[in-house]
């Protein structure tokens, strides 16, 4: 078998979403499992929505959960020549044509079709115009096959058959010269030698649109895998109104990255009855055939439980490292400086079984700081009751 090459290709239009993290995680696990390569690619061809700040957020999030990439981050906007060259190649071989329809006209026609209960597809009116030198602004469309069918043998869903007559002649180059997603993704996945394209479920119907482009360009077709979506408690796609969806928001709330990873991987993947996995175990045990086909509801309670498990079982030194910045932020910088890490570690052991998040832990730990610095475990245990009572009262 050839070397596994997978990628995570987010668009930088906001913070890093936990759904994105899960997609990245599955790709990362597969790469690590097979000693393959994990590529990070930033899909920033939408000029109006992409921001550098979002790119930073993506990198920050990936770093926090420990998903390291072997190549990249590549930015599609650095690769514009590649897309234009390949688009023109398609044009020159007659597989693409110039479309001079105005965006507003297309929009109007789409609405009209929808109103009539028809498919809101492009009607192909520029398809056979044979425009070679478009006057002013024009977009380049791919001449999609109209007959036959495209079969996607999905790693997760199995064989899925699409009739080519539902295919649209989609725009591959916008009139501003930027490539569209369905085109740049094909060029990049091919040129980057991606062997397995694993992405969200919402891309499944994009696949039969992309496969003919691979074919037309003479590229080998990668394997595809489509991961089920994450839903909110009302079974609607997970969004802000269900609570925090940014991965970094969970850091802020006092979650451990290993707990996030463990929870997210179990959301849609299983290994018998096992709930808790070390990173090494995940790499060793991960495979597509235990990935669920159906969408999963995000359950904050279970995540909280899992975080508590990690807090209870992680080496106290590890917890201390994560805790210190939070203590500093809580205004306890002086106090933290006056005690040893060892002292803090003992304190962590003392309170950890009653805390579910690091933020909880800050609350529990705070009253101890007024005490004698020569911390004695046994003495503290005897005095635990006294320490807890006032904290309880405040809660």
By annotation, the residues acting in catalysis are: 240
**Residue nearer to RNA on the CB measure, 112 or 342:** 112
Residue 201 CB: number of other CB atoms within 10 A? 17
CA-CA distance, 370 to 145, in Å (whole number)?
75
**Residue nearer to RNA on the CB measure, 154 or 322:** 154
Output the smallest distance, CB 168 to RNA, in A. Answer: 6
**Residue nearer to RNA on the CB measure, 5 or 203:** 203
Task: List binders of RNA among 68-87 (CB under 7 A).
Answer: none
Q: Is 390 in the site for RNA (CB under 7 A)?
A: no
**Residue nearer to RNA on the CB measure, 230 or 336:** 230
Task: List binders of RNA among 145-184 (CB under 7 A).
Answer: 157-158, 160-163, 166, 168, 170-171, 174-176, 178, 180-182
How many CA atoms lie less than 13 Å away from 336 in the CB half-sphere?
Answer: 17
* Distance set, CA 340 to CA 1, 44, 141, 233, 383 (Å): 53, 46, 66, 44, 20
Q: Which of 312, 318, 346, 363 binds RNA (CB under 7 A)?
A: 312
Q: Which of 229, 332, 362, 387 binds RNA (CB under 7 A)?
A: 229
CA-CA distance, 205 to 216, in Å (whole number)?
19
Output the smallest distance, CB 366 to RNA, in A. Answer: 16
**Residue nearer to RNA on the CB measure, 113 or 248:** 113
Q: Which of 60, 201, 215, 335 binds RNA (CB under 7 A)?
A: 201
Q: Which of 252, 341, 353, 376 binds RNA (CB under 7 A)?
A: 353
Token pair for residue 194?
């991606």
Output the smallest distance, CB 197 to RNA, in A. Answer: 13
Output the smallest distance, CB 135 to RNA, in A. Answer: 12
Q: Which residue has the tokens 């997603």?
A: 181
Helices (H), the chain: 18-33, 52-64, 80-92, 103-115, 181-191, 207-216, 247-252, 257-266, 279-285, 300-313, 316-327, 333-337, 341-351, 358-365, 377-394
CB contact at 8 A, 38 and 9:
no
User: Residues with Cβ < 8 Å from 102, sequence gap 6 or more?
Assistant: none
Task: List binders of RNA among 243-302 (CB under 7 A).
Answer: 266-270, 272-273, 275, 290, 292-297, 299, 301-302
Q: Which of 5, 7, 203, 251 binds RNA (CB under 7 A)?
A: 203
Output the smallest distance, CB 274 to RNA, in A. Answer: 8
Strand partners, 242: none
Task: List binders of RNA among 1-60 (CB under 7 A).
Answer: 9-11, 13, 43, 45-46, 49
Q: Which stretch binds RNA (CB under 7 A): 230-238, 277-285, 321-329, 334-342?
A: 230-238
Output the smallest distance, CB 210 to RNA, in A. Answer: 10
User: Residues with Cβ < 8 Å from 134, sequence gap 6 or more?
Assistant: 98, 100
Q: Would you call the peptide bond into 73 cis, given omega within 30 degrees of 0 as the criterion?
A: yes
Closest CA to 187 of 173, 201, 199: 173
**Residue nearer to RNA on the CB measure, 141 or 251:** 141
**Size of interface with RNA, in residues (CB under 7 A):** 83
CB contact at 8 A, 363 and 335:
no
Task: List binders of RNA among 93-152 (CB under 7 A).
Answer: 99, 101-103, 106-107, 110, 114, 117-122, 137-139
**Residue nearer to RNA on the CB measure, 165 or 338:** 165
Output the smallest distance, CB 269 to RNA, in A. Answer: 7
- Is beta strand 139-142 parallel, antiparallel or unpaired with respect to 96-99? antiparallel
**Residues written for the chain:** 395
Q: Which stretch binds RNA (CB under 7 A): 31-39, 88-96, 227-235, 318-326?
A: 227-235
Which secondary-structure segment (H or E) carries 328? none
């Amino acid at each position: 078998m050839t070397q596994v090459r997978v990628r995570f290709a987010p668009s930088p239009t906001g913070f890093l979403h936990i759904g994105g993290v899960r997609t990245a995680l599955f790709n990362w696990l597969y790469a690590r499992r097979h000693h393959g390569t994990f590529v990070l690619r930033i899909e920033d061809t939408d000029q109006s929505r992409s921001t550098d700040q979002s790119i930073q957020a993506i990198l920050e999030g990936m770093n926090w959960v420990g998903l390291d990439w072997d190549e990249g981050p590549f930015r599609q906007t650095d690769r514009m020549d590649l897309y234009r060259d390949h688009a023109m190649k398609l044009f020159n071989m007659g597989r693409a044509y110039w479309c001079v329809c105005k965006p507003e006209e297309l929009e109007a026609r789409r609405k009209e079709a929808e109103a009539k209960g028809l498919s809101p597809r492009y009607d192909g009116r520029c398809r056979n115009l044979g425009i070679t030198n478009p006057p002013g602004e024009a977009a380049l469309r791919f001449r999609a096959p109209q007959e036959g069918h495209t079969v996607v043998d999905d790693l997760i869903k199995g064989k899925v058959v699409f009739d080519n007559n539902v295919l649209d002649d989609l725009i591959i180059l916008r009139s501003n010269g930027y490539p569209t997603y369905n085109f740049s993704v094909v060029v990049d996945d091919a040129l980057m030698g991606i062997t397995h394209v694993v992405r969200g479920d919402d891309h499944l119907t994009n696949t039969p649109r992309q496969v003919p482009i691979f074919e037309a360009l003479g590229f080998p077709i990668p394997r595809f895998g489509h991961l089920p979506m994450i839903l909110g408690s009302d079974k609607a796609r997970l969004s802000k109104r269900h609570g925090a969806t940014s991965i970094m928001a969970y850091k802020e709330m006092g979650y451990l990255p290993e707990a996030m990873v463990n929870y997210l991987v179990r959301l849609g993947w299983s290994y018998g009855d096992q709930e808790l996995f070390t990173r090494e175990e995940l790499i060793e045990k991960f495979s597509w055939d235990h990935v669920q086909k159906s969408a999963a509801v995000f359950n904050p309670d279970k995540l909280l439980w899992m975080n508590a498990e990690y807090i209870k079982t992680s080496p106290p030194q590890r917890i201390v490292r994560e805790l210190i910045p939070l203590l500093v932020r809580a205004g306890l910088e002086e106090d933290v400086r006056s005690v040893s890490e060892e002292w803090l570690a003992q304190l962590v052991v003392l309170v950890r079984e009653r805390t579910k998040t690091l933020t909880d832990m800050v609350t529990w730990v705070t009253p101890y700081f007024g005490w004698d610095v020569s911390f004695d475990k046994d003495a503290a245990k005897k005095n635990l009751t006294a320490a807890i009572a006032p904290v309880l009262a405040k809660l």
